[in-house]
């Protein structure tokens, strides 16, 4: 259980930073209405009011046996006596430039990355499907204190990814930067028009003939609901190729990898990320796997956060429903980016045109590093740098990238007693 001291510090943070004080709030769910069009069910996202979130302290749990699960990435290679370093350029043909790991068959890299929008809300869609197979998962704020994922698949495929929800403006930037294709479940009409205008046939929305690339999982519901739209990444590649999307090996240079951690790191074995009212995720370093394991706030069937008698949020392992393994990532990265509000709760995040160095926080090997990031082109992957502007070397493996905001806060709740624990609180503009 969390110490009284940490609980007090979290409570003080809540009072200082936030205005809303309801601990057991209703689930903040984006206003996304199910709309029926000719012969197809699609999801249309509508902007909703922004809520000022509060942070309830989380209960510290001793990781159970699930914390020693083997990495789910089938391409992961064991540490060797002479670790290899790759990037940011000149990757060998069999090395995935987005993970620094070898692939079983280099031919899989002769395609565009497959990128799929995955909902974190409503919580009835959890646990998510297929996130453990992703090379990169982007995690960004949307509306009403909620967040959404954009999962990228390149070095391996997943037979099921979801639940899929609507596309957002930032998806255009990210899909363009990684030369990818986008699998999504419609969008609010202004965002939809822009997605189609910029990505064209590379944006694949649920419709007639998209199954098995994108289709409804009738084992979840016989009728279309917001949590039963799923994608098959290999089928999406095939579908895109059949509809005129070129498939070849694109230049995805830019990231650097090395098993040897950089110098000058600070202890960083525990990171809490909060996007809104009790919308929490923990990343806890596991020395057995060398990865950060994912935990998420527990919610009941009613969508409400589960609290103990002390009002502390229960955190549970976040697993992949495909293999029941806890999500484990080699790198957890936070980018400070500019969120631009177009409407009451609709954001543009111009990641692809952020050409100046901006702050980043990188967690790898149980260490926290201050770093920098920037775009080097609208069709080039995000690049990471040390404070002296040299390529930052990530740990080979998958990366979870939180796109935070310039108004957000990063702190240590109790640096005296737990210097390895960090808190990142997302504040929208």
Confidence band for 250, pLDDT divided at 50, 70 and 90 = very high
Assign 20 a pLDDT band (cuts: 50, 70, 90): very low
Side-chain half-sphere CA neighbours of 352 within 13 A: 17
The mean per-residue pLDDT over the stretch 266-294 comes to 97
Residue 308, pLDDT score: 85
Query: How many degrees, rounded to 5, is the angle at CA 73 between CA 67 and CA 75?
Result: 140
User: Is 144 in contact with 155 (CB distance < 8 Å)?
Assistant: no
CA distance 77 to 85: 13
**pLDDT exceeds cutoff 60 at 397:** yes
Q: Which residues contact 362 (CB under 8 A, 6 or more apart)?
A: 331, 332, 333, 334, 368, 369, 371, 384, 392, 394
Q: Is the pLDDT at 340 greater than 70, yes or no?
A: yes
Return the CATH number at 83: 3.50.90.10
Q: Is 316 helix (H, G, I), strand (E, B) or coil?
A: strand
Round to whole Å and give the CA distance between 313 and 165: 26
Count of domains forming the chain: 1
Please, which pLDDT band fits residue 144 given cuts at 50, 70 and 90?
Answer: confident
pLDDT, tens digit (0-9, with 9 covering 90-100), for 81-91: 345 799 999 99
β-strand 399-405 against 393-394: which pairing, if any?
unpaired
Whether residue 307 contacts residue 313, with contact meaning beta carbons closer than 8 Å, is answered with yes
- Nearest to 148, CA basis, from 131, 132, 158: 131
Give residue 53's pLDDT band: very low, low, confident or very high (50, 70, 90). very low
Confidence (pLDDT) at 84: 79
Q: What is the pLDDT of residues 341-368, one digit of tens each?
A: 887 678 999 999 999 999 999 999 999 9
Residue linked to tokens 């709309």: 35
Output the pLDDT for position 83. 56
Query: What predicted TM-score, i.e. pTM, was given to this entire model?
Result: 0.84
Answer with the residue of higher pLDDT: 183 or 74. Answer: 183
- Structural domain of residue 312, as residue ranges? 1-429
């Amino acid at each position: 259980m969390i110490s009284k001291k940490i609980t007090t510090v979290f409570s003080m943070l809540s009072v200082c930073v936030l205005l809303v004080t309801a601990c057991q709030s209703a689930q903040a769910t984006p206003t996304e209405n199910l709309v029926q069009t000719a012969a197809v069910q699609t999801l249309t996202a509508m902007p909703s009011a922004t809520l000022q979130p509060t942070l309830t302290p989380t209960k510290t749990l001793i990781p159970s046996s699930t914390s020693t699960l083997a990495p789910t990435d089938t391409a992961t290679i064991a540490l060797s006596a002479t670790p290899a370093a790759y990037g940011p350029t000149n990757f060998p043909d069999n090395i995935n430039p987005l993970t620094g790991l070898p692939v079983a068959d280099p031919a899989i890299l002769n395609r565009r990355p497959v990128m799929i929008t995955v909902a974190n809300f409503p919580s009835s869609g959890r646990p998510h499907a297929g996130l453990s197979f992703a090379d990169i998962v982007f995690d960004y704020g949307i509306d009403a204190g909620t967040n959404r994922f954009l999962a990228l698949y390149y070095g391996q495929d997943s037979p099921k990814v979801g639940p899929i929800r609507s596309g957002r403006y930032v998806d255009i930037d990210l899909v363009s930067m990684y030369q990818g294709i986008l699998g999504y479940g419609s969008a609010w009409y202004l965002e939809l028009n822009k997605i189609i205008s910029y990505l064209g046939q590379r944006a694949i929305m649920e419709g007639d003939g998209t199954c098995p690339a994108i289709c409804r999982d009738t084992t979840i519901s016989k009728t279309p609901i917001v949590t039963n739209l799923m994608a098959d990444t290999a089928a999406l590649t095939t579908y895109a190729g059949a509809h005129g999307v070129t498939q070849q090996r694109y230049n995805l240079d830019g990231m650097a990898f090395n098993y040897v951690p950089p110098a000058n790191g600070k202890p960083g074995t525990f990171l809490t990320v909060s996007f809104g009212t009790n919308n929490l995720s923990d990343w806890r370093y596991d020395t057995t796997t060398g990865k950060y394991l994912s935990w998420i706030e527990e919610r009941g069937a009613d969508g409400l956060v589960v609290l103990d008698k002390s009002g502390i949020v229960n955190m549970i392992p976040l697993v992949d429903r495909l293999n029941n393994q806890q999500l484990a990532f080699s790198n957890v990265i936070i980018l400070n980016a500019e969120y631009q509000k177009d409407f009451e709760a609709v954001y543009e995040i111009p990641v692809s045109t952020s050409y100046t160095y901006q702050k980043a926080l990188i967690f790898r090997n149980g260490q926290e590093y201050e770093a920098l990031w920037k775009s080097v082109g609208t069709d080039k992957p995000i690049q990471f740098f040390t404070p002296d502007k040299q390529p930052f070397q990530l740990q080979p493996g998958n990366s979870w990238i939180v796109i935070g905001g310039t108004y957000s806060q990063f702190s240590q709740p109790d640096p005296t007693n737990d210097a390895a624990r960090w808190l990142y609180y997302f504040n929208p503009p």
